[in-house]
Structure 1
Amino acid sequence: MQQLYPEPGPVDHDTLIDLYAPPPRPSLRVNFVASLDGAGTLGGKSAGLSGPEDKRVFGILRMRCDALVVGAGTVREEGYRAVRLDEPRRQWRLAHGLTEFPTLVIVSGRCDLDPAQPALADAPVRPVILTTAHAEPGALGDVADVIRAGDKRVDLIEAVRQLRERGLLQLLSEGGPTLFGSLTAAGLVDELCLTVSPLLAGPGAGRITAGPELPAPVDLTLRHALLADGQLLLRYNR
């Protein structure tokens, strides 16, 4: 892996971990992969756009966060498993004052999740479900903590406030596109980590963002650019 910007040169594993250090304040970063022509998935899943180095960064981002925030649709469509890290990453977290595992947080306005879904039932730490005031969690309350925020839709600003009250300060979202769009519209996105895969996916696939229109574009600044196996790994923040 090579760093192209701001200082060109080779990147070893420890340097890579440092390059993805979160800011000292609470923040929310989003991680996505996309094709050259803007597709967010191949065959309905993001895995076909990824590669070994992108997956390495994916693992580092999970290692460095307090909580992983995903939409219920993404949990189902991507076949999410329990968020379990390997031994070296668990030890790194403990050595750096973090809990052994990050907390999985699922945004589900209707609470239409199966409590037996592996991401919930096999979680090493109790997950959190963000939902609305009128949703009926049912048996989900047996496997996860339920946070209510908002009436007809999940109020993401209030939900993030409640997560931070729990000490979940560094948040990582892996989507999906509608959650990304909603987080952007709510002014909550502090950072985007984007891998650009050297593929032309063709028409059909959606973009990495969807949902409400923005009143104006959000300006981000390039923090670094890495090159690995033809993929560009970009980090932008406010």
Structure 2
Amino acid sequence: MRRLLPPALDRPDDALDRTWEPAELAAAYAYPEERLHGRGWLRANMVTSVDGAAHHGGRSQPLSHPADMRIFGVLRALADVVIVGAETVRREQYRPARERPGFAERRAAAGQRRVAAIAVVSASLHLDFSLPLFTDPLVPTMVITGPAAPRHGLDAARAAGAEVITVGEGAEVDPARVKAELVERGHTRLLTEGGPRLLGAFAEAGALDELCLTTAPRYVVGTAGRVMSGPGVEVPRELALTSLLEESGFLFGRYQRV
């Protein structure tokens, strides 16, 4: 892996193609501490092919790379909560976050729990609560739903040990309130792994602070969706490219709100 942006003036080794240690990746992807107080920081981590596909065959793994998975693990190790949509949980067969010994002291010093909690956003609560994501997490999985969520789903989630959070109105989950509710509970380092509809909702609501985007040097053709989907914004919104890493032709960019 090597750094393309910003120029590695004070660390020439960053411009060389070498394996980065987890601590180096953690420094490169550190949350902006000065921005956490008050409104928190919501970053997304997504992968895309060069022809704009967010998945192949319904899963993101065919577009991934070992370096992408290393960054994936580090981003989770830095986060308080990982927010994910119900459809992505089903397609990607989500499991609980696992403890990373190299980050134990860092998390303890920051006042974080042993691992990030997974927060599943679902209005219908059509989830398999017998999965390890709910039955075997190191910290309780969160289920974020709307006030009109079905009673049987709420009962099943609570019976499985999930922490149920209700936001929004009616059957809908308000994406802006999801972020605000988690921040109010002390979770300021937020990460979402999609899917595209959830990420699009966060972006449209103005709740997204950062996009960590892996661009794979692969194309898939087909009809796969993009990393964001939804009604759209009236005027394209600007992001600033603050960091760009490269390995084996894969590009790892950090884009932050201007």
Q: TM-score range by the shorter chain?
A: over 0.9
2-structure distance, mates of 1:112, 1:138: 12
1:20-35 matches, within 5 Å, as 20-24=29-33, 25=36, 26-35=40-49
Write out aligned runs for 1:24-103 (5 A): 24=33, 25=36, 26-103=40-117
| Partners of 2:112 and 2:13 in 1: CA distance | 28
Q: Single out whichever of 5-14 and 15-24 deviates more from structure 2.
A: 5-14
**Which structure 2 residues correspond to residues 151-190 of structure 1 after superposition, within 5 A?**
151-190=170-209
Q: Tell me the alpha carbon deviations over residues 31-62 of structure 1, each in whole angstroms, 9 at most, x when there is no partner.
A: 00111111111221001111111111111100
Query: Residue 156 of structure 2 corresponds to which residue in structure 1?
Result: 139
* Correspondence for 2:122 among 108, 123, 126: 108
Matched, 1:119 2:138: no
Q: How many residues align?
A: 238
Hey, what does 1:206 align to over in structure 2? 225
Amino acid at match of 2:210: E
Report how far residue 74 of structure 1 moved.
0.4
Give the CA deviation at 1:117.
1.8
SS at match of 2:47: strand
CA deviation string 1:143-177 (max 9, x = no partner):
21111111231012222211111111110000000
Matched, 1:237 2:246: no
Distance 1:229 1:140 in 2: 42
RMSD of the TM alignment (CA)? Answer: 1.4
- 3-state SS of the aligned residue for 1:82? coil
Q: Indicate the SS of the match to 2:7.
A: coil
Correspondence for 2:6 = 6
**CA distance in 2 between partners of 1:10 and 1:127 (Å):** 40
Structure 1: gaps of 5 or more residues: none
**Is the 1:132–1:149 contact (alpha carbons within 8 Å) kept by the matching residues of 2?**
yes
Distance in structure 1 (CA, Å) of the matches to 2:87 and 2:162: 17
Aligned partner of residue 156 in structure 2, secondary structure: helix
1:51-97 Cα shifts (integer Å, max 9, x gaps): 11111111110011110000011000000011113322334422443
After TM superposition, the structure 1 stretch with the greater mean CA deviation from structure 2, 212-221 or 180-189, is 212-221
Identity of aligned residues (%): 39
Are 2:24 and 1:18 equivalent residues in the alignment? no
The equivalent residue for 1:148 is 166
Residue 223 in 1 paired to residue 242 in 2? yes
C-alpha distance in 2, partners of 1:97/1:128? 19
Give secondary structure in 1 for the equivalent of 2:255: strand
| In 2, Cα distance between equivalents of 1:59 and 1:76 | 20
Q: Which runs of 5+ in 2 are unaligned?
A: 15-19
When normalised by structure 1's length, the TM-score is: 0.95
Asked if the contact 1:91/1:100 (under 8 Å) is kept, the reply is no
1:54, 1:10 → 2: CA distance?
20
Distance in 2 (alpha carbons) for counterparts of 1:81 and 1:123: 8
Partners of 1:44 and 1:15 lie apart in 2 by 32
